[in-house]
Amino acid sequence: MKTHTLRNKSSLTPILKFTPSFFKRMVSCYPEAICLTLHWFKMAYKRETGKSVHLDYEQSQAINALAGADERGVWHSKFSTLPPPAYQLQSVFTKGIEATPGGDLESVLALAQEFFSVLDKAYFPSVDGQK
């Protein structure tokens, strides 16, 4: 599946835009999984090309809205309140994803989504199956 396009590749800051089908899949995930996947892509692209990629403005705004960001684009993850051992585990997972040189957006998103789903179920139990 095609996941994205890059505009202005010759500029110092190409613009990343996810395909409609992949973006639809992304916005059904935890905001933390989306951000980690985007972060991984940006780091991988920078390693490969030396350029910093930026997310398309409209898609960036949609992700910010999903995450409950304020007007400055700042939002707070519910996972920031994890107890120290779980927070350390999240930190190790994040560093592992960041250090992964290969892969693709689909597999990184799926892995991050599953990780945050496990944390969510373990530390933020739902009431009657509701999140």
**Residue-level pLDDT at 40:** 95
CA torsion sign, 94 to 19 to 103 to 7?
Answer: negative
Whether residue 8 lies inside any domain: the answer is yes
Whether residue 78 lies inside any domain: the answer is yes
CB atoms within 10 A of CB 114: 13
Number of domains in the chain: 1
Whether residue 23 lies inside any domain: the answer is yes
Q: Which amino acid is at 81?
A: T
Residue 52's φ and ψ, nearest 5 degrees, are -95, 125
Whether residue 61 lies inside any domain: the answer is yes
Whether residue 130 lies inside any domain: the answer is no
Domain housing 27: 4-123
CA torsion sign, 74 to 79 to 37 to 18?
Answer: negative
Distances 60 to 3, 28, 77 between C-alpha atoms, Å: 16, 15, 17
Tokens of 51: 């350029």
**Residue-level pLDDT at 127:** 58
Whether residue 128 lies inside any domain: the answer is no
Whether residue 131 lies inside any domain: the answer is no
pLDDT digits 0-9 by tens, 66-102: 999 998 989 999 999 999 999 999 999 999 999 888 7
The pairing of beta strand 54-55 with beta strand 15-18:
parallel
Question: Which segments in the chain show pLDDT lower than 70?
Answer: 127-131
Whether residue 111 lies inside any domain: the answer is yes
Q: Which of 19, 16, 24, 58 is nearest to 41 (CA)?
A: 16
Enter the pTM of the model: 0.89
Average pLDDT in the chain = 91
> What does the alpha-carbon distance between residue 41 and residue 17 come to, in Å, rounded to a whole number?
12
